[in-house]
Amino acid sequence: MFDFKVVTNWIDNLLNGFLPPAWATFIEFVLIGVCILVAYAVIALALIYVERKVCAFFQCRLGPNRVGPFGLMQSVADMFKMLIKEIIDIRHIDKFLFNLAPYVVIAASVLAFGCIPFGKGLHILDFNIGIFFLIAVSSIGVVGILLAGWSSNNKYSLIGAMRSGAQMISYELSIGLSILTIVIFAGSMQLSTIVESQADGWFLFRGHVPAFIAFVIYLVAGTAETNRGPFDLPEADSELTAGYHTEYSGMHFGFFYLAEYLNLFIVAAVAATLFLGGWMPLHIPGWADFNQIMDYIPSPLWFIAKTAVMIFVMMWFKWTFPRLRIDQLLRLEWKYLLPINLLNLLLMAIIVVFKWHF
């Protein structure tokens, strides 16, 4: 399987060959930043189009089919429309915090996006506390949402922000415990090590019942964490207009919109990385010829395919189940998911200590 470190090392050697080390490092930072922003925009536009098509499929409609072949350019047209929209100046608000909030949300998702290993040797941030860093930076987003709701001086925005804060803080516990279950099984918090540990089998299959339980809870909690249906109470349009971003317009609203879809991608990518081997091909012990054929498929394709399956499942949730009430949403977390997760974590620790796993 091709290792992308060959490419990154070649670029690093090339820049250091004719530039001072400081300038070479600076240019590398700029290149990485441009790659992140381009990937950020492309993935968000692609997911907006996919969600429209998936929604149409579940509702027996066609979805976008006018702008470009099969409606592929519809999201691009919407992007340009949003870029040229006026940012309306709202009175009686905290202008500094109101303008800061979208950037906090975007910064949180970009930092989490940088932790994801997209292929063999194709990752930006990879250190021995990668999981800890990922959980920490992804938690910053709720601060931006609370700032947006409070600074808007709007009762709908404030209620939406308070709902989102309660929801995200609650379900972060289940996400953290599900991830910790896999960390115990892998024996490492480094994402590249976790992926490489799944060369002989993905953790979803090797980790027995605790890994499967952690996987199901992670998907449910991850859907709630991204404020998607049936957990979309913070943006319940029938009750709160648009929730915490009611007063936002133009590109400021676009930032919240992009961050929502990037967070969907991040949650799905982390699920694929921890439970389905990330960029690691499907290997079956004893099937040498089959495993060799699987190795010919580029690692980014494996990663994108697994992430796409997770995204489809989360979209399936949204367009299948009705929206929960706030009491049902919090009861699900505190009375069911959290206790199950704690017992599951203990069970995984026992399995690892006594080496009852494959």
Per-residue pLDDT of the chain (358 residues; tens, 9 = 90+): 787 888 888 888 888 888 888 888 899 899 988 988 888 889 989 999 999 999 899 888 888 888 888 888 998 898 888 888 888 888 888 889 888 998 998 898 888 888 899 988 888 888 888 899 998 998 888 888 889 888 888 888 888 888 888 888 889 999 999 999 999 999 889 998 999 888 888 898 888 889 999 999 999 999 988 888 788 776 766 666 767 778 888 888 888 888 888 989 999 999 999 999 889 888 887 788 888 888 888 889 999 999 999 999 999 988 888 888 888 888 999 999 999 999 999 999 998 888 876 6
Q: Is residue 49 part of a domain?
A: no
Q: Is residue 226 part of a domain?
A: yes
- In the chain, the number of structural domains is 1
**Whole-number Å distance between alpha carbons of 233 and 12:** 47
Q: Which residues pair with 119 in a beta bridge?
A: 122
Residues across the chain: 358
Q: Is residue 23 part of a domain?
A: no
Q: Is residue 73 part of a domain?
A: no
CA angle at 137 for the pair 164 and 226, rounded to the nearest 5°? 35
The beta strands (E) that lie in the chain are given as: none
With H, G, I as helix, E, B as strand and everything else as coil, classify residue 201: coil
**Whole-number Å distance between alpha carbons of 215 and 174:** 11
Task: Find tokens 């930043």 and name the residue.
Answer: 33
The parent domain of residue 184 ranges over 90-353
Q: Is residue 256 part of a domain?
A: yes
- Single-letter amino acid, residue 298: P
Q: Which residues pair with 355 in a beta bridge?
A: none
